[in-house]
Structure 1
Amino acid sequence: MPVAAQVLRHASTRPHRQAVCGPGGELSYAEFARRIRGVAVHLSGRGAGRGTLAAISLADPVDLLTVVLAADLAGATPLLCDPSWDARMREAIPADLRIDAMPPVADGSPVSPSPLPGDRSWACFGSGSTGRPRAVLRTRASWTTSFQQVGELAGIGPEDVVLVPGPLTSSLYGFAAVHALAAGATALLPGRWSPGALTAQLRRATVAHLVPHYLPVVLDALREGVGSPLRTAVVGGAALPGGLRERAAAAGVRVVSYYGATEMSFVAVDADGSGLRPFPGVEVEVRVPAGRSLGEVWVRSPWLAEGYLAGAVGPLRVDEDGWMSVGDVAEPYRPGEVLRLRGRGDGAIQTGGATVVPEDVEEVLRSVPGVGDIVVVGSPHPDLGAVVTAVLEVGAGTPPSRTALESVARGGLDAAQRPRRWYAVKSLPRTPAGKPARGLVAARLAGGDQDLWRLT
């Protein structure tokens, strides 16, 4: 069943229950359903239907969700795009419809598609997307049939208010919002993380869906005496730092942490602090090469994505038996044991719950005049896990200004991909094949090599 149809059902049974609360105000399920129906009529008039792809770039999270669910109701596939992207990025997306303003709420005949489980019902960009789009496509079944398992693990029901404090263009936050609506709960959608607004949000939220580095801020707010009904924190996107679960328990908050990927959805979950174990319906293998102590994580489940939009290249691999991997690395694993992750095997950077592929950032920044070559690595950070760090090879020339670099980054990269730290070096260390030696660059940064100077 489309999520939009579930919203319409809630509107008929509990019309006055609050559905969404965003920067622009609140909507009951009846009001939200009316907007979704009206936008679906408008989109259908523009040709939206089964097999069409609607690229949606809206800054307001409630507007974005309205159009996404309207496209869903019309049978189209919504593709969630970052509204901060420049024209070059937008034009690179092979969409049938481009929506960058809230469509009118039209009158007309109700839209009545015949949804099928195999329909493409959702598409969003992974954190590694660049001017060469790499959006992940999901079938309806892979997206919605895990709702029941998530609801049972997290205890989310129609009386809850679910805080979703990040952009819905992220698959983590997008899933959290539509899952809350499918459950008949209220989705609290500030659109972005704002510590200054957190107190007011926590006074209402019973559940929060977060990345790990936000949880300490929430717990600090609770410790300072914020009167909050918060009982559960659903945490994904990166490993949960030690001690946070215990801190949360002391504040009366149960933590449900999980491991997954945009391409593979939920893989493993830790609902009680005993360690990550396969999410319901998921098979896990760790394929360890002979003579090695670590192996790649491979997954088979009903929740796997269909693949990348337009055949884009990415870390996703699928074997002939339907097992999927994105290169994550773990210790050897046997069924019934705890899954012990050890990072990414492709050099990807885990930063604040997002996964950034260095090559994608490098591709964009190489276009800056004055950059001969570039290496992007992760530098340790106490809260984010790592921050994206760029090291520019400039030869005997003068490096471009940080202002120029950041301007290009803003236009071609999403927020998680943009470097926080910038360095220059006359010559990058290279492998025998002539490629920049990423590991040596990271080691030189960590060692405080004086040949690398910081751009300010």
Structure 2
Amino acid sequence: MSGARADAADASDADASAPVVPAPWLPRGLADAVAAAGERLARLGVRAGERVVLDTPTRARWAVLPYLLAADRLGAASLVADAGWTVRERDAVLADTAPHHVVGTDGGAATGPGGPRTPGVFLLPTTSGSTGGPAVLARDRRSWRLGFDALGALPGPVLVPGPPSSTLYLFGALHALHHGLGLDTRGRLDPADLPDGGTVHVVPAQLGALLDDRERRPGGPVPRVVVCGGAHVAPAVRERCARLLPGTTLLEYYGSAEHSLIATRRDDGPLRAVEDVRLTVRDGLLWVDSPQSVLGRFGAGVLHPSGPGPTTVGDRAELTADGGLIVLGRAAATVSTGGTLVAAEEVEQVLRAVPGVTDVVVAGTPHATLGMLVTAVVEARDGGPDRRALRAAARDGLSPAKRPRRWLLTRALPRLGSGQPARAEIAGGLRDGTLDAVPLGEPE
């Protein structure tokens, strides 16, 4: 960050009402779009402290960005609606938010139930809903400014290839603007769009697709930095990234909608907490005490503040003697089989490295004697993975109790708008037999 920008950041941190990205930092075209969006929101009666739900067509999701920045300038809080929500999920989110306005970037607008205003809130992020329904959170500007600085300046231009309804991608876009970098937003990842010498934000499934493309078609643009969040990157994938993109730094981060940026890892280094974030482990669960944490949760239009001190989202973890962090996955994504607790993400990391695997989700399916069978639902490419290779990877990387006993193959895992697998939907499909998957082998 330049000296002038650092001074401006200090000033804006001192003034909690300052926009999350000051107007002088915006490129001309975006600044004009923000001004136009602000005029429309003002005509609709949007005022400071009000809550605004922003709808945008699937074909033009990033049209929401000027509206979000304009609402912030008016002192209103924005919730970016996810086009992938079911009717039930959307209704539940709107009931919790009780917005004063629902504004479509394509021209539609409606008033909402409103209720008490909530000054000081700039964003209403929702939890991913990967293991349940989305929850509505409240975030102030300072919490993300701290995250922007914790991640640090990255080389530009910056490609953000995913929907702004996901805080992972929205954070990447606002981080680029905060640091004065060129920004390219897309609805999905196309390796041809990679910024040569710049930065790209991805989730692990996108990283795998990017590496597959590089293996099939060597050459093309090479980013200097790949930022990967949303799930853990297996060591074998990190090794593959170093081999196929030798001049590229892989910057992995661990975070949550509730705590924002928690820990980072560069290439093969350890995962470590970012500055001013304090971590403890109690009964196997990670507790986070961070100045980046959300203000609280909304229910029926009322903000229920988070208490002071550490909070947890239910991730299982270990802290190493040298200060490193090992995240074992969400407790809700743990399979109890034969008296052993199996972390789904640990198994998934091993299987994602098998050639032909696009992604994998591990869940439990009922078994008469074991309680649950460790079940791997494998998303495949290029005709599918070799079953023997999957079993060999499980034997080499997992203890016997953690190895999948049931294997299913699918062409496409159900996904959230962020690109992350929809675990709750997959688990439900396994329970009721509606998951679009075929057996890769019979249960053992």
Provide the residue aligned with 2:269 in structure 1. Answer: 274
Which residue type is aligned with residue 310 of structure 2? W
Q: Aligned with 2:42: secondary structure? A: helix
Provide the residue aligned with 2:323 in structure 1. Answer: 337
In the aligned structure 1, how far is the partner of 2:146 from the partner of 2:363? 38
Q: Is 1:232–1:253's contact at 8 Å kept on the other side of the alignment?
A: yes
Q: Aligned with 1:164: secondary structure? A: strand
* Structure 1 unaligned spans of 5+: 12-28, 105-115, 289-294, 350-376, 393-408, 427-444, 451-456
The alpha carbon displacement at 1:220 in A equals: 3.4
Matched, 1:187 2:187: no
Provide the residue aligned with 1:208 in structure 2. Answer: 200
Matched, 1:102 2:97: no
- Go from structure 1 to structure 2 and tell me whether the alpha carbon gap of 1:424 and 1:237 turns closer, same or farther (over 3 Å shift): closer
Provide the residue aligned with 1:324 in structure 2. Answer: 311
In the aligned structure 1, how far is the partner of 2:236 from the partner of 2:176? 28
- Go from structure 1 to structure 2 and tell me whether the alpha carbon gap of 1:132 and 1:210 turns closer, same or farther (over 3 Å shift): closer
Q: After alignment, is 224-233 or 87-96 more displaced?
A: 87-96
In the aligned structure 2, how far is the partner of 1:239 from the partner of 1:296? 17
Which residues in structure 2 correspond to 1:358-397 (within 5 Å)?
382=352, 383=357, 386-387=360-361
Instruction: Tell me how many residue pairs correspond in the alignment.
Output: 341
Provide the residue aligned with 1:66 in structure 2. Answer: 66
Q: TM-score, normalised by structure 2?
A: 0.66
Matched, 1:235 2:228: yes
Q: After alignment, is 265-274 or 414-423 more displaced?
A: 414-423
In the aligned structure 2, how far is the partner of 1:230 from the partner of 1:412? 24
Provide the residue aligned with 2:258 in structure 1. Answer: 263
Q: After alignment, is 298-307 or 54-63 more displaced?
A: 54-63
Provide the residue aligned with 2:36 in structure 1. Answer: 38
Question: What CA deviation, in whole Å up to 9, does each residue of 1:133-192 have, x standing for no partner?
Answer: 51122111112222122124xx34xxx111111111111111001111121212221113
Which residue type is aligned with residue 332 of structure 2? D
Please point out which of 42, 46, 53 is paired with 1:55.
53
Q: Is 1:89–1:130's contact at 8 Å kept on the other side of the alignment?
A: no
Question: What CA deviation, in whole Å up to 9, does each residue of 1:275-297 have, x standing for no partner?
Answer: 11111111111113xxxxxx110
Provide the residue aligned with 1:163 in structure 2. Answer: 159
Q: Is 1:162–1:205's contact at 8 Å kept on the other side of the alignment?
A: no
Provide the residue aligned with 1:300 in structure 2. Answer: 289
Q: Is 1:42–1:103's contact at 8 Å kept on the other side of the alignment?
A: no
Question: What CA deviation, in whole Å up to 9, does each residue of 1:233-254 have, x standing for no partner?
Answer: 1111111111333333332110
In the aligned structure 2, how far is the partner of 1:179 from the partner of 1:203? 16
In the aligned structure 2, how far is the partner of 1:72 from the partner of 1:33? 13
Please point out which of 426, 434, 437 is paired with 1:419.
426
Provide the residue aligned with 1:368 in structure 2. Answer: none
Q: Is 1:56–1:99's contact at 8 Å kept on the other side of the alignment?
A: yes
- Go from structure 1 to structure 2 and tell me whether the alpha carbon gap of 1:61 and 1:182 turns closer, same or farther (over 3 Å shift): farther
Q: Is 1:86–1:411's contact at 8 Å kept on the other side of the alignment?
A: no
Q: Is 1:4–1:36's contact at 8 Å kept on the other side of the alignment?
A: no
Question: What CA deviation, in whole Å up to 9, does each residue of 1:250-281 have, x standing for no partner?
Answer: 32110111111111111111124221111111
Matched, 1:217 2:191: no
- Go from structure 1 to structure 2 and tell me whether the alpha carbon gap of 1:422 and 1:131 turns closer, same or farther (over 3 Å shift): closer
RMSD: 3.9
Which residue type is aligned with residue 163 of structure 1? L
Q: Aligned with 2:316: secondary structure? A: strand
- Go from structure 1 to structure 2 and tell me whether the alpha carbon gap of 1:150 and 1:91 turns closer, same or farther (over 3 Å shift): same
Q: Is 2:131–2:333's contact at 8 Å kept on the other side of the alignment?
A: no
Q: Aligned with 1:33: secondary structure? A: helix
The alpha carbon displacement at 1:225 in A equals: 2.7
Q: Aligned with 2:323: secondary structure? A: coil
Q: Is 2:209–2:358's contact at 8 Å kept on the other side of the alignment?
A: no
The alpha carbon displacement at 1:302 in A equals: 0.9
In the aligned structure 2, how far is the partner of 1:212 from the partner of 1:344? 17
State the identity %: 28
Q: Is 1:121–1:139's contact at 8 Å kept on the other side of the alignment?
A: yes
Which residue type is aligned with residue 136 of structure 1? L
- Go from structure 1 to structure 2 and tell me whether the alpha carbon gap of 1:226 and 1:279 turns closer, same or farther (over 3 Å shift): same
